[in-house]
Amino acid sequence: SIKMHEKRNTKQKNEEKTPKGAVPAYLLDREGQSRAKVLSNMIKQKRKEKAGKWEVPVPKVRAQGETEVLKVIRTGKRKKKAWKRMVTKVCFVGDGFTRKPPKYERFIRPMGLRFKKAHVTHPELKATFCLPILGVKKNPSSPLYTTLGVITKGTVIEVNVSELGLVTQGGKVIWGKYAQVTNNPENDGCINAVLLV
């Protein structure tokens, strides 16, 4: 069957099976072998793909509930209306961001919690750079947070790496790369991230 085809029979060295002492001549050059099943490369690849396209430094993150990230703001004459929400975590808004008229904006992202730069570490160079953020790619807790630009631990952000001076094979300059946030920015006051190479 295909399964059997995929699992090859390999021969491995087996220490115990080698008999000590006199050995018949035709067995002299052989060491004990044992058969083991080794998964073929293809299987490995397929499993990798299943796991996800990216191998990230922070694979599992605690999911942030809505009550944690968004705070209810009461408005209205008698403070009865509760349709507005204020983001309590650090967020990123783009350059050309303008608020909607205050009467109509549902999600408030306070200016004090807006960050533009992140401290990004290159995993191989072990050097940290302060790079400007280009955008939020994915927030693992919820797609709503991604659209809002909320940055929590485990969020994948895109950063401007022109400072590093990376060049592609074709000679083009790389100026945007993904990085994953590794700390809780609302507790530390800064965004620390690891570059995804």
Partner 1 sequence: MALYNFKKITVVPSAKDFIDLTLSKTQRKTPTVIHKHYQIHRIRHFYMRKVKYTQQNYHDRLSQILTDFPKLDDIHPFYADLMNVLYDKDHYKLALGQINIAKNLIDNVGKDYVRLMKYGDSLYRCKQLKRAALGRMCTIIKRQKQSLEYLEQVRQHLSRLPTIDPNTRTLLLCGYPNVGKSSFINKVTRADVEVQPYAFTTKSLFVGHMDYKYLRWQVVDTPGILDHPLEDRNTIEMQAITALAHLRAAVLYVMDVSEQCGHSLEEQVELFKNIKPLFANKPLIIVANKCDVKRISELPEESQKIFEMFEAEGFSVIETSTLTEEGVIQVKTEACDRLLAHRVDMKMKGNKVNEVLNRLHLAMPTKRDNKERLPFIPEGAVVRKKRMEVDTPKRKSERDLELELGDDYILDLQKYWDLMNSSEKYDKIPEIWEGHNILDYIDPDIMRKLEELEKEEELREAAGEYDSESESEDEEMMEIRQLAKQIREKKKLKILQSKEKDTRGPRMPRTAKKASMEHAFVQRKVLEKEMTDLGLDMTNKDDAHYARRSRSVTRKRKRDESVPPTSVARSRSSSRTPRDVSGLRDEKMVKKVKTMAKKAQKKMNRMGRKGESDRHIFDLKPKHLLAGKRKSGKTQRR
Q: Is 187 in the site for partner 1 (CB under 8 A)?
A: yes
Alpha helices in the chain (DSSP H): 2-6, 41-51, 66-69, 143-148, 185-188
- The minimum distance between CB 187 and partner 1, in angstroms, equals 4
Q: Which of 13, 31, 188, 197 binds partner 1 (CB under 8 A)?
A: 188
E-only strand ranges, the chain: 7-13, 33-39, 70-75, 81-87, 107-108, 117-121, 128-138, 156-160, 166-167, 173-174, 176-181, 192-195
Q: Which of 64, 177, 178, 186 binds partner 1 (CB under 8 A)?
A: 186
Q: Is 72 in the site for partner 1 (CB under 8 A)?
A: no
Output the CA torsion sign for 47, 51, 55, 59.
negative
Q: Is 77 in the site for partner 1 (CB under 8 A)?
A: no
Q: Which of residues 92-151 bind partner 1 (CB under 8 A)?
A: 110, 112-113
Alpha helices in 52-95 (DSSP H): 66-69
- The minimum distance between CB 85 and partner 1, in angstroms, equals 14
24, 29, 155 from 21: Cα distances, Å: 10, 14, 63
- The minimum distance between CB 161 and partner 1, in angstroms, equals 25
Residue in the block written with tokens 């922070």:
58
CA pair distance 89, 68, nearest whole angstrom: 9
- The minimum distance between CB 8 and partner 1, in angstroms, equals 52
Q: Which of 46, 71, 74, 116 binds partner 1 (CB under 8 A)?
A: 71
Question: Looking at the DSSP assignment, which residues form a beta bridge with residue 36?
Answer: 10
Q: Which stretch binds partner 1 (CB under 8 A): 58-66, 100-108, 121-129, 188-196?
A: 188-196
Cβ-based nearer residue to partner 1, 164 or 181: 181
Binding stretches for partner 1 (CB under 8 A): 71, 88, 110, 112-113, 184, 186-190
